Chains A and B, each alone.
Chain A
Amino acid sequence: MSELLLAEAVGFTRSGDLVFDPVDVRLERGKALVIAGPNGSGKTTLLRLLAGILTPACGKLERHGSLAFLGHLAAVKGDLTVRENLEFTVRFCAHPGMPVNQALARVGLAGLGLRPARALSAGQKRRVGLACLLVARREIWLLDEPYASLDDVGGELVDSLLEQHLAGGGAVALSTHQRQPRLNTDPGRLLIRPAARGGE
């Protein structure tokens, strides 16, 4: 099956109001999807819905693959070393991927494995988050603002990781409002609009 994730008219409500107009999402193997929209339109909410962290208030959601979610917070324990954080991800997720050392080198953190994660800069923490994607194999990547706090070289790194993941048969959905991903094949685009609020 080429569809890894299929959502039909999913929406989420906060205090009874829809956050955004319900949308259809279709993630296929080897395809990327860019979720665009102004600040506060619900990009993060949609990604968290797709990840299963939120429960949709309406619509249908089907997943046919393992999933990785990279949010605003890097999900890194500051009191553990970078290496320990990655080793945890390997054990926590079912399928090991790239060896930890290789993943660290790939994201430009070679030699920092023994550093406590709390001593890293924001950009370096994002890179640890990216390394987490590599050390455990998951088919669907849901990335919330993957380019945030990364420099230009970091942005290119994200692009090359995406390219590699898509070439390996994975699917990606990502939100961004700054840099657009530069990939060999143009990613699909999904524009989400904040829902019209009733009674305001």
Chain B
Amino acid sequence: MFKSLLALLRRDLRLAIRHGGESLMPLLFLFAVLILVPLGVGPGPNLLSAIAPGMVWVAALLASLLALEGLFRPDLEDGTLEQWWTAPAPVGLLVTTRLFSHWLITGLPVILFAPLAAQMLYLPDHALPVLMLTLVIGTPILSLIGGLASALTLGTKRGSVLLSILIFPLVVPVLIFATGAVSAVADGLSPQAHLGLLTSLLILAVVLAPLATTAALKLNVE
């Protein structure tokens, strides 16, 4: 069973590497935001350090959203999705594996480059560990919610508009608690409450999203 999951993960990553350009989009987005925003709002350290957490998080959110259209649709169209139901591994775990590879492609690069981004936006040094922590907790939530929305809109051609409308209200709490935690630390307060709420969102998403996504995929395969 684990061999099947590993096989799926390997193939997803290999396809991501082969689509080089598309897979670099999340990072390009991050840097587009980092470079354009200071030009737009002026390079003053005070203003930039205040909006830094929000900027990094918006980039993470958009990066995650960009790759959603390709999360399940190509598999539905080439027939590989229906093969999941004949696999030796339960579909729920295959779905979770696919969401994990989505996170590796969209979430992880943002986390890895967040320290650089924080430097560029004058984020106070003592706030960086919390920014990293919110990204580690929060980006998997984005992948999980995004996966559910992507599975739900699979039946509609050009579902991307509907996809964004579905996702935005659901990810707003993630954005609020994550940036709230970083701002709290930057102001010398404790980020515990925000981090606790963010973690509870992650637990909720990890438990429910793969189940709901599997059910939504099943509807679309039928």
Chain A nearest Cβ from B20, distance in angstroms: 11
A79 contact set on B, CB distance < 8 A: 15, 18-19
Interchain residue pairs with CB less than 8 A apart (25): A51-B85, A51-B86, A54-B221, A67-B86, A68-B86, A69-B86, A71-B79, A72-B79, A73-B82, A75-B83, A76-B78, A76-B79, A77-B15, A79-B18, A80-B11, A80-B14, A80-B15, A84-B14, A91-B7, A91-B10, A92-B3, A92-B87, A93-B87, A94-B3, A94-B4
Enumerate chain A interface residues (CB-CB to B < 8 A): 48, 51-55, 66-69, 71-80, 84, 88, 91-94
Residue of B nearest to A69 (CB): B86
Residues of A contacting B7 with CB < 8 Å?
A: 88, 91-92
Residue from B1, B18, B83 within 8 A of A69 (CB atoms) = B83
Q: Is B206's beta carbon under 8 Å from chain A?
A: no
Please give me the residue from chain B that is nearest to A85 by CB atom.
Answer: B11
Taking a contact as CB atoms under 8 Å apart, the answer to whether A69 and B82 are in contact is yes
Residue of B nearest to A79 (CB): B18
The 0/1 profile, CB within 8 Å of A marked 1, for residues 71-106 of chain B is: 000000111101101111000000000000000000
A-B interface, 9 closest residue pairs, ranked by CB to CB distance from nearest: A73-B79, A91-B7, A75-B79, A92-B7, A53-B85, A94-B88, A75-B80, A69-B86, A53-B82
Contacts of A48 in B (CB 8 A): 82
Q: How far is the CA of A36 from the CA of B31 in the complex (A)?
A: 58
The CA-CA distance from A9 to B10 in the complex, in Å, is 40
Q: How far is the CB of A16 from chain B (nearest CB, A)?
A: 14
**CB-CB nearest in chain B for A117:** B78
Complex Cα distance A58/B6, Å? 35
Residue pairs across A and B with CB atoms within 8 Å: the count is: 71
Could you tell me the dominant secondary structure of chain A's interface residues?
loop
**Contact between chains at B8 and A74 (CB < 8 Å):** no
B66 to chain A, nearest CB (A): 18
Report the nearest B residue to A72, measured CB to CB: B79
Q: Which of B4, B14, B77, B88 has the most chain A CB atoms inside 10 A of its CB?
A: B88
B81 to chain A: closest residue by CB: A75
Q: Say whether B78 contacts A53, CB under 8 Å.
A: no
How far, in Å, is B12 (CB) from chain A's closest CB?
10
Q: Name the distance in Å between B77's Cβ and chain A's nearest Cβ.
A: 8
Q: Which chain A residues lie closer than 8 Å to B6 at the CB level?
A: 91
- CB proximity of A65 to chain B, nearest CB, Å: 12
* Residues in A whose Cβ lies below 8 Å from that of B10: 88, 91
Is the Cβ of A53 less than 8 Å from the Cβ of B221? yes
The smallest beta-carbon distance between A5 and chain B, in angstroms, is 12
Chain A residues with Cβ under 8 A from B86's Cβ?
51-53, 67-69
By a CB distance below 8 angstroms, the chain A residues around B4 are 91-94
Q: Give the nearest-CB partner of A116 in chain B.
A: B18
Measured between C-beta atoms, what is the minimum distance from A23 to chain B in Å?
19
Q: Which of B123-153 contact A (CB under 8 A)?
A: none
Contact with A along B1-31 (1 / 0, CB 8 A): 1011011101100110011000000000000
Distance in angstroms between the alpha carbons of A73 and B78 in the assembled complex: 6
Q: Report the minimum CB–CB distance from A61 to chain B (whole Å).
A: 13
State the CA gap A76–B81 with chains docked (Å): 11
Contact pick for B78, options A78, A92, A93, CB 8 Å:
A78
